Amino acid sequence: MTSPRTARGAGRGDAEGGSAVVDFVLVSVLLMVLFLGVVQVALAQHVRSMLVDSAAEGARYGARADRGPDDAVRRTQELISADLSSRYARDVTARYTTRDGVAVVEVSVEAPLPVVGLLGPGGVVDVVGHAVAEPR
């Protein structure tokens, strides 16, 4: 036989059992959204960092005395394709310009911003790399 105290406790536990499931679902959805947001920011920062590094290295390569802007574009595209994907290397340009009176090679890269899932920032990442041009 069960005591009245045990019977009352069991009934109350059954009524609150469903609320624990609802609480778990609500908290896990919020944590999932937060986690995906952190992953989105980390992925976008990684892509931007790789693009900046590739543009700077491409500019340094194109600034050598025996190279030019076309070589800088090719080198930048090779680096981006090796580090990320060729779809990020589609829009790469290079040119001679001056900065503060110094001749430099400028490499510009415009690439899509990576998106995790359906919710995320759209748009493009625009980075520029410079290197002092060696005299010819």
pLDDT in tens, the chain (136 residues): 555 555 555 555 566 667 888 888 999 999 998 998 888 889 889 999 999 999 999 999 999 999 999 999 999 999 999 999 999 999 999 999 999 999 999 999 999 988 876 666 678 899 999 999 998 7
C-beta neighbour count of 132 within 10 angstroms: 13
Domain that holds residue 56: 4-132
Q: How far apart are CA 59 and CA 55, in angstroms?
A: 6
CA-closest candidate to residue 124, choices 136, 107, 109: 109
Number of domains in the chain: 1
